[in-house]
Amino acid sequence: MKLEILGTGCAKCAKLEEVSRKAADELGLDYELEKVKDINKIMDYGVMITPALVVDGEVKIAGRVPSVEDIKKLISKK
């Protein structure tokens, strides 16, 4: 599974990375996490507000930092 954190490096972006890692680790998933800071790449996803979480190329959430439990629900539906 590929997880991407879209954002320029703000505190919310760092928090989204932290909770995404925690959720994936708690689910025991085999995943790769990449931080995408390039504004053009972020806009290629159609994301206008960060942070955003992309799972296997699909934007799952943007503009807020969900809880670990919410992220587990988003990434376990594979």
Specify the pLDDT at position 11: 95
41 three-class SS = helix
**pLDDT at residue 15 in the model:** 97
Mean pLDDT by 10 residues, the chain (78 residues): 94 96 96 96 95 97 96 84
Predicted confidence at residue 9, as pLDDT, reads 87
* pLDDT attached to residue 66: 96
Instruction: Check if the beta carbon of residue 45 is closer than 8 Å to that of residue 7.
Output: no
Domains of the chain with bracketed CATH? 2-75 (3.40.30.10)
Q: What pLDDT is attached to residue 76?
A: 87
φ, ψ at 47 (rounded to 5°): -85, 125
Active site residues: 10, 13
- Using CA of residue 63, residue 56, residue 14, residue 28, what is the dihedral sign? positive
The per-residue b/e assignment along 48-64, b for 16 or more CB within 10 angstroms, e otherwise, is eebbbbbbeeeebbbee
Which amino acid, one-letter code, is at 73?
A: K
